[in-house]
Structures are given as structure tokens and as C-alpha cells.
């Protein structure tokens, strides 16, 4: 790393993605398996899971630093420093991981909607909840597309 901002780019994208995956799993457990949800996601375990997310992000940052150890290239183009500063395998992992995180969020919302449609009673309350879930699904799908487009471009630049 010749400059400090790749660190912020890596942590600034991977930590939110890890938390997005964690909340998506939490959402599925809360809707589909409430007993398991109460057991797994107690306050202490949530804190442990949050710490695990931060540790995973730090391990990823260490992997990025290790992959860039002998990299002597200097990025004059102003393109993303992650693809220029790290090894090909790491930059590919990083951008694919971001796409997967948003995909997990979309899938969790779809699972929640399908489960609620099958198991919950109908009526005004269900219709109101259904319209809210449709909005969340639309936002998640839009976020997935908006995050995936630059990631695909960055992976394409690397290969």
C-alpha cells in the first residue's frame, strides 16, 4: 500500500457487508425459527458476533496487506486502489464478497416474504406487512444492482 485510503476502502466495504450478512441471517432465524433466534441471538452472543465480524474484516485486511507485500507498482491512473495494490486473488475475493453480501440480503428478504405468505394469516395487517416487504425487496434488489455494477467492472479491469 503506497497510500492509506485502500485500508479505508477495504474496511469501509467489508465491515458493512459482514453486518449485512449477519442481519440477514438474524432476519431469517427471527421469522422462520423464533426459538432458535432467541437462543442464538441473545445480547451476549450478538456482541460476540459483532466482534467476530470486526475480526474477520481485520483478517481480510491482513490478507490484503500480505497479498500486496512485494507489489511495487504505483497507481497513476486514479482507478480503484484495491485492484492495483492487492493481488489478483484478493481483489477478486473482495469484490465478489461484496456482491454475495448484498445477494444474501435479497435472498433473506425473499425467504422471509415466502415464509410469511405461507404461514401467516391474511387480512389488512398482512397486506400492510406485504407492501412493506415488497418495498424492502425492491430496495435490496436495487442495492444489489448498484453495488454489483462497479464490482463487476473492477473485476473486469483486473482480468
Q: Residue 116: what pLDDT?
A: 79
Q: How sure is the predictor about 98, in pLDDT bands with cuts at 50, 70 and 90? A: very high
Among residues 15, 6, 147, 151, the alpha carbon closest in space to that of 64 is found at: 6
CA diameter of the chain = 64
Closest by alpha carbon to 96, among 107, 82, 85? Answer: 82
CB proximity list for 98: less than 8 A, separation 6 or greater: 13, 14, 17, 147, 151
Q: Say if residue 121's pLDDT is above 50.
A: yes
Average of per-residue pLDDT across 95-120:
89
**Which pLDDT does position 19 carry in this prediction?**
95
Global confidence as pTM: 0.81
Reported as a single tens digit per residue, the pLDDT across 23-33 is: 999 988 988 88
Stronger pLDDT, 5 or 41, i.e. the higher one:
41
The string of DSSP codes covering 116-140 is: HHHHS--SHHHHHHHHHHHHHHHHH
- pLDDT attached to residue 123: 53
Query: What's the DSSP call for residue 94?
Result: H
Domain ranges of the chain: 5-158
Amino acid at each position: 500500500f503506497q497510500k492509506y485510503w485502500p485500508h479505508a476502502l477495504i474496511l469501509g466495504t467489508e465491515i458493512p457487508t459482514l453486518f449485512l450478512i449477519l442481519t440477514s441471517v438474524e432476519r431469517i432465524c427471527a421469522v422462520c425459527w423464533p426459538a432458535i433466534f432467541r437462543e442464538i441471538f441473545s445480547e451476549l452472543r450478538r456482541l460476540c458476533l459483532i466482534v467476530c465480524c470486526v475480526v474477520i474484516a481485520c483478517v481480510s485486511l491482513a490478507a490484503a496487506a500480505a497479498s500486496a507485500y512485494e507489489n511495487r507498482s504505483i497507481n497513476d491512473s486514479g482507478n480503484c486502489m484495491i485492484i492495483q495494490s492487492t493481488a489478483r486473488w484478493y481483489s477478486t475475493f473482495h469484490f465478489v464478497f461484496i456482491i454475495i453480501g448484498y445477494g444474501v440480503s435479497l435472498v433473506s428478504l425473499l425467504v422471509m416474504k415466502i415464509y410469511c405468505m405461507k404461514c401467516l394469516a391474511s387480512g389488512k395487517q398482512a397486506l400492510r406487512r406485504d407492501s412493506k416487504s415488497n418495498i424492502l425487496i425492491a430496495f435490496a434488489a436495487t442495492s444489489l444492482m448498484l453495488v454489483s455494477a462497479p464490482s463487476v467492472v473492477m473485476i473486469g479491469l483486473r482480468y
